[in-house]
Amino acid sequence: MRSVRRAMPAHARTAADRALADAAADLVRRAGAATVAAYVPHGPEPGGEFLVPALATVAERLLLPVLLADNDLDWAEYDGTFTTGRFGLREPAGPRLGRDAVAGAGLVLLPGLAVSPAGTRLGQGGGSYDRILPRTQATTIVLLYPGEYLADLPAEPHDQRVCGAVEGYDTAHVHWTNGCSMTQHWHSKYRSANDGG
């Protein structure tokens, strides 16, 4: 999955990143989420340079992750500034809010390499997001590039399932999974690209 991402033409990635950022902002508006937890794209991660600015314009509070020494995540509110963290990652410069700050989010947007209809998410292997998922009751959505929503993925016992995925093409396609129950009604605007919607 990583090699396919690296081989993606720059113009196609930019178009997908723009579509994903727009879709993510629209999801925030539809969900009515005052606090959103998201990620800062690194390298060829979906959303690119457009994701954080798009979310910052629609979320009252935008929480971004800080990678800890044990690969767990702390959180800080985005105030428009970044600092450099472990492995050269861009991290929010604001005060640390603790590992459980994600529990206050109304929507959580995650990175990933692939998602299946069962809600299985393939991450980068560090387990950071599998650790935070049990701490939130929010709708959890992974942003993906085209072709990364797959019919089946292997799952480990520690893997946490997600509610949905957004694939970025020139426009974005939202897929709802069987990974969690959706008690919110706002998601009905987005029928899965697989169900004829």
Read off the pLDDT of residues 9-27 as tens digits, 9 standing for 90 and up: 999 999 999 999 999 999 9
Question: Residue 197: pLDDT band by 50, 70, 90 thresholds?
Answer: very low
With 70 as the cut, is the pLDDT of residue 195 above it? no
Residue 196 has pLDDT above 50, yes or no: no
**Is residue 95's pLDDT more than 50?**
yes
Q: What is the pLDDT of residue 168?
A: 87
Q: What is the layout of strands, in order, in the sheet containing 164-168?
A: 73-77, 61-67, 35-37, 107-110, 139-144, 164-168, 172-176
Higher pLDDT, 114 or 182: 114
Among 149, 162, 138, smallest CA distance to 192 is for 149
Q: How confident is the model at residue 187 (pLDDT cuts 50, 70, 90)?
A: low
| Domains of the chain with bracketed CATH | 2-189 (3.40.50.10420)
Is residue 194 predicted with pLDDT exceeding 50?
Answer: no
The yes-or-no verdict on residue 46 having pLDDT over 70 is: yes
**Per-residue pLDDT tens digits for 152-174:** 998 887 778 999 999 988 778 88
Q: Is the pTM of this model over 0.75?
A: yes
Locate tokens 């085209």: which residue?
A: 146
Sequence-separated (6 or more) residues with CB below 8 Å from residue 152? 116, 118
171 vs 138, higher pLDDT: 138
Q: Please tell me the predicted confidence (pLDDT) of residue 193.
A: 43
Residue 139 DSSP one-character state: E
